[in-house]
Amino acid sequence: MTESTIPTILDSIKEMCDWNRRPEDNLLHCSSDLLGSLRHAQLRMGRAPTREASLGSEFRLLSGSIWHEQVADKLLLQKILRVEEEDWVLNLEDVEVDLTEGLPEGWTGTADWLFWNGDFNAYVIGDLKTIKGEGMRYIYANGAKAEHMAQVSAYVHALASFPDVGSDQVMGKFLIVYLPISDAPDLDVHPTVEVCVSMDKDALWTMMENKWQATSDWKLEWFETGNVVNDRLAPPMERVQKAYWNTSRNVYELKLVPHWTTQFCLYDEPYCDCRDQGTTKIGEFDLDGAYTPRSGYEGIEAEVRVSDLELNKRRSAA
């Protein structure tokens, strides 16, 4: 081997990131596409060109994969574990369980862990989420995130539809373990086990079928016209409402801001422009929580509220 063909240490690490990226399978993924942007999934399938991902986000993904492997190895060694929250004793049956067969057409998904609960004679599905320490604030206050609940609920219903399993052998409750991978200021950061109840199957399946139908329609148009950006491409994600404390005016300003996932999106125009949507103030809450819309935005209803806890905190500091 000549000196010039010897890879550098950084080349080798970059190779690990490349290996960690899953190849495109032309399917919708329960882990990202259930409540995520359909446009994003379609652009991914259409192999629309992206900007290069930052090394930081590549490492974030890689560290998530490494944690999944490490925890799975540990569980495989121990085989039996206790879930204090429910007083369950679970036996580990398998890790990385492919549930695609039980999902609606066009969808794929893999559960991190499958346990057997001998007291109930039923399987329990578990999933691991690595998360920034700052993100744990939301989990401690609200429990599991909606997109994670939807993802693992789909796994529960998929497993229950396996011919050799049956719905009475799958528990409607499942586990999501949140593993923080950094600290956060003024927060006692620690992992949590969230025991969740699965969402209604009919509503979930209808949403998944609709998304796949929209994807199939878009694909047809793409194949016919050769254009990934065609009339059937889903619209960009709408902005979401968020309340921000304004220190100088002692009010919470309600704003429309781009969805949080857009900061990680690598598509530029003409594929998508939702990262550049900007922020618009649409109203404000006073310290009693009363809402006043901004002039010209009276037609938009406030969908978020400021909690009593937050208001009390601000009132006592004012």
- Chain contacts with ligand SF4 (rule: CB under 6 A): 37, 39-40, 43, 236-237, 261-262, 265, 267, 272, 274-275
Q: In this structure, what token pair is assigned to residue 37?
A: 């942007």
Measured in residues, the chain has a length of: 318
Least Å distance between CB 268 and ligand SF4? 9
Radius of gyration (C-alpha) of the chain in whole angstroms: 23
Least Å distance between CB 37 and ligand SF4? 3
The residue (of 124 and 237) whose beta carbon lies closer to ligand SF4 is 237
Least Å distance between CB 240 and ligand SF4? 12
CA distances, 5 to each of 9, 23, 56, 278 (Å): 13, 26, 26, 46
Least Å distance between CB 236 and ligand SF4? 4
Least Å distance between CB 38 and ligand SF4? 8
Could you give phi then psi for residue 172, rounded to 5 degrees? -70, -15
Number of Cβ within a 10 Å radius of residue 128: 19
Compute the C-alpha angle 294/299/301, nearest 5°.
85
Helix then strand then coil, in percent of the chain rounded to 5, is 40, 25, 35
The residue (of 32 and 167) whose beta carbon lies closer to ligand SF4 is 32
Amino acid letter for position 43: L
The residue (of 48 and 114) whose beta carbon lies closer to ligand SF4 is 48
Least Å distance between CB 52 and ligand SF4? 15
The residue (of 144 and 233) whose beta carbon lies closer to ligand SF4 is 233
The residue (of 90 and 274) whose beta carbon lies closer to ligand SF4 is 274
Number of Cβ within a 10 Å radius of residue 86: 16
The residue (of 45 and 95) whose beta carbon lies closer to ligand SF4 is 45
Pairing status of strand 122-131 against strand 173-180: parallel
| Spatial separation of the C-alpha atoms in residues 181 and 142, rounded to whole Å | 19
The residue (of 46 and 102) whose beta carbon lies closer to ligand SF4 is 46
The residue (of 36 and 180) whose beta carbon lies closer to ligand SF4 is 36
Least Å distance between CB 39 and ligand SF4? 4
Beta strands per DSSP E along the chain: 28-29, 80-83, 88-98, 107-108, 110-117, 122-131, 173-180, 192-197, 240-246, 251-257, 280-285, 291-293
Least Å distance between CB 36 and ligand SF4? 8
Give yes or no for a contact between 267 and 237, defined as CB atoms under 8 angstroms apart: no
